[in-house]
């Protein structure tokens, strides 16, 4: 291809032709349907916003386009240089690149110690070339920069560039490889508002030259401001598609969070006294997801408090404080009115908090140890489990036999490694471990993520049961339906702040999650 022709108008005259078509893509992971019959088209020079909550299937869909996953059904067509749609071989990461589809991930893949120019050309040169034609590469890149406005210092090591500049380098990398279609995964997640505006101006400039763009986002404001068309994914299905000109914020918010009826029946119940009090609790984290900014929170007995929010807004920090993994940098934590002086996981367990961790494989179980051992791992001091430092193996086995019965944990037996269990059964193992100790407070962090309907309903039933018994529950979830169905009271977490939602109004909560004034 001629130099500097990434999206030169001469080569790709503006027409309204389709450049990308996804036909009925479906992907299942075990029992989880990540994408169900999703079809999309993208026209030349168009900006398509792909909206949806976390777990809605946006990333899976793009991973199929890029050949990282092989779809169970469906096909992908990409226009060739002459604008004729060609079927794309699936499951081959190189095929999408070769067909002119470039992706810029949320997390950049740049080598920090070499300069932007080399980062851009890296990997697109023949492995065994004797010398590199750096001058040709440089002039091609400079041509792209001039037409797109994507300014980036080419001679500076990437490690010294700002986040916005790094992102421009990533985009330049895709354009350098003659991308005609660009996919941006949450491009503004790491940018300041000013940088974001500049980015979208650049995108506009590029689309005028014939580039087509898909950008993944859950920020309504920028979607409405900068896209031509909006497609909304929810629970793996495309639930709506409209021209941005016809869209209004409320309709999109409703589409994103859905309008299903709650699945688990919840009866009203008068709450009791407070079991958990957070007062002005801050956590100084290294990233947004690990940061809390002076939050107040009270959970009472007989109450499920739902924490709604888009992932990465401080949920991890909140969960870590309640489970004892993170010490607050300021503020007070009280369980049953008693200040937790030195927070640690052991102290929180002792104070009567049952924890259902977000990542059940990573934090919930020790996969190489047996089901029976995992059942008692939180109470190794208990005389029922040990006497004088030696494990009471019969008691541990009997305990596990009883709990696997009571909680319907299915697998190859209590002596088998817990990693042999399915995700749903691992969660049941954790439920058994937590609920068996009749905790005063339960922290359930994304308790149904990745579970099938049956297992998810079981989790909901157990949480309601604990509430009836008198426990307080903190339910952190990115699935608003789950929170609406289970929670007595809802708070929204955004950017490390917690605010009372005040109602079960789906639209209002959806807007609060997205950071829009309600």
Partner 1 sequence: MIRIEPRENPSRAFAVGIPILSAVISLALAAIPLLAAGANPITAYGEMIRGVFGSVFALSEMLTRATPLIFTGLAAALAFRAKLWNIGAEGQLYLGAMAVVAIGSGYLDAPGFVLLPLIILLGAGAGAAGMMAPTYLKVRFGADEVVTTLLLNFIILIFLQMMLEGPLQDPMGLGWPQSAPVLDQGMLPPLMERMRVHSGLIIALVLAGIAQFMLARSVWGFKLRAVGENAAAARHAGINVNRSLFGVAAISGALAGLAGVSEVAGLKGYLTSDLSPGFGYTGIVVAMLAGLSPVGVVVAALFIASVFVGADSMSRAMGVSSFLADLVVSMSLLCVLVGGFLAKYRILRTKEVAS
Binding site for partner 1 (CB under 8 A): 70, 89-92, 95, 323-325, 344-346, 348-349, 355, 357, 362-369, 373, 377-378, 380, 385-386, 389-391, 393, 416-417, 420
Of the pair 133, 387, the CB lying nearest partner 1 is at 387
Least distance in Å: CB of 87 to partner 1? 10
Least spacing, CB of residue 378 vs partner 1, in Å: 5
Alpha-carbon distance of 437 to 74, in angstroms, equals 48
Enclosing H/E stretch for 148: helix 134-148
Q: Look at residues 279, 304, 309, 273 and name the one whose alpha carbon lies nearest to residue 294.
A: 279
User: Which C-beta is closer to partner 1: that of 45 or that of 343?
Assistant: 343
User: What's the closest the beta carbon of residue 333 comes to partner 1, in angstroms?
Assistant: 16
The dihedral built from the CA positions of residue 476, 480, 484 and 490, taken in this order, carries a sign that is: positive
> Which of left, alpha, beta for 383 (phi over 0: left; psi -120 to 50: alpha)?
alpha
Q: How far is the CB of 346 from partner 1 (least distance, A)?
A: 4
Least distance to partner 1, CB of residue 286, Å: 14
Which bin fits 142, alpha (ψ -120 to 50), beta or left (φ > 0)?
alpha
Shortest approach of partner 1 to residue 256 CB, angstroms? Answer: 32
Q: How far is the CB of 355 from partner 1 (least distance, A)?
A: 7
Give whichever of 343 and 424 is closer to partner 1, judged by the CB atom.
Answer: 343
Q: Are 73 and 38 in contact (CB under 8 A)?
A: no
Task: Report the alpha-carbon distance of residue 210 to residue 148 in Å, rounded.
Answer: 11
Please report how close the Cβ of residue 44 comes to partner 1 at its closest, in angstroms: 26
Beta pairing partners, 199: none
Looking only at the bridges linking them, the beta strands covering 181-185 and 101-104 are: parallel
CB of 172 to partner 1, least distance (A): 30
Residue 157's alpha-carbon distances to 177, 251, 415, in angstroms, are 21, 45, 54
The closest of 314, 323, 343 to 331, measured between CA atoms, is: 343
Picking from 17, 20, 16, the residue whose alpha carbon sits closest to that of residue 42 is 20
Q: Among 281, 301, 192, 190, which residue's Cα sits nearest to residue 498?
A: 281
For residues 198-228, one letter each, b for 16 or more C-beta atoms within 10 angstroms of the residue's C-beta and e for the rest, the string is bbbebbeebbebbbbbbbbbbbbebbbebbb
Residue partners of 207: CB distance under 8 A and separation at least 6: 45, 46, 47, 213
Shortest gap between Cβ of 6 and partner 1 (angstroms)? 27
Instruction: Report residue 314 as tokens.
Output: 């401080």
């Amino acid at each position: 291809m001629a130099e500097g022709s990434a999206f030169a108008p001469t080569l790709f005259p503006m027409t309204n032709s389709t450049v990308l078509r996804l036909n009925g893509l479906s992907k299942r992971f075990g029992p989880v349907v990540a994408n169900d019959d999703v079809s999309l088209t993208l026209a030349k020079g168009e900006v398509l916003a792909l909206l949806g909550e976390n777990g809605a299937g946006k990333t899976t869909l793009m991973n199929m386009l890029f050949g990282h996953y092989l779809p169970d059904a469906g096909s992908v067509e990409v226009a060739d240089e002459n604008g004729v749609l060609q079927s794309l071989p699936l499951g081959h990461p190189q095929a999408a690149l070769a067909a002119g589809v470039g992706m810029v991930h949320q997390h950049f893949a740049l080598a920090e110690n070499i300069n932007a120019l080399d980062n851009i050309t890296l990997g697109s040169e023949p492995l065994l070339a004797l010398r590199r034609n750096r001058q040709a590469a440089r002039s091609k890149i400079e041509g792209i920069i001039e037409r797109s406005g994507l300014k980036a210092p080419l001679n500076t090591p990437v490690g010294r560039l700002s986040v916005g500049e790094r992102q421009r380098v990533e985009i330049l990398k895709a354009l350098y490889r003659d991308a005609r279609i660009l996919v941006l995964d949450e491009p503004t997640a790491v940018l300041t508002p000013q940088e974001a505006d500049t980015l979208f101006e650049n995108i506009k400039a590029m689309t005028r030259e014939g580039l087509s763009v898909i950008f993944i986002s859950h920020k309504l404001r920028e979607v409405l401001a900068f896209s031509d068309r909006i497609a909304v994914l929810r629970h793996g299905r495309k639930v709506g598609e409209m021209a941005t000109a016809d869209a209004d914020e409320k309709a999109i918010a409703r589409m994103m969070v859905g309008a299903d009826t709650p699945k688990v029946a919840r009866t009203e119940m008068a709450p009791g006294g407070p079991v958990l009090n957070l007062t002005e609790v801050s956590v100084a984290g290294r990233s947004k997801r690990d940061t809390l900014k002076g939050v107040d929170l009270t959970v009472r007995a007989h109450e499920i408090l739902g924490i709604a929010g888009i992932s990465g807004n401080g949920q991890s920090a909140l969960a870590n404080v309640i489970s004892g993994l993170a010490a607050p940098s300021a503020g007070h934590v009280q369980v049953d009115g008693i200040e937790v002086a030195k927070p640690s996981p052991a102290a929180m367990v002792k104070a009567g908090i049952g924890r259902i961790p977000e990542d059940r494989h990573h934090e919930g179980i020790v996969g190489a140890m047996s089901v029976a051992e995992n059942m008692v791992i939180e109470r190794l001091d208990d005389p029922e489990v040990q006497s004088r430092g030696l494990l009471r193996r019969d008691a541990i086995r009997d305990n596990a036999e009883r709990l696997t019965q009571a909680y319907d944990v299915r697998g190859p037996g209590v002596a088998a490694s817990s990693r042999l269990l399915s995700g749903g059964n691992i969660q049941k193992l954790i439920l058994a471990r937590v609920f068996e100790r009749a905790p005063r407070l339960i922290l359930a962090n994304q308790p149904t993520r990745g579970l099938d309907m049956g297992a998810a309903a079981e989790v909901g039933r157990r949480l309601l049961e604990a509430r009836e018994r008198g426990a307080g529950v903190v339910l952190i979830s990115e699935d608003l339906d789950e929170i609406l169905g289970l929670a007595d009271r809802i708070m929204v977490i955004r950017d490390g702040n917690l605010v009372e939602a005040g109602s079960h109004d789906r639209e209002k909560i959806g807007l609060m999650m997205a950071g829009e004034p309600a």
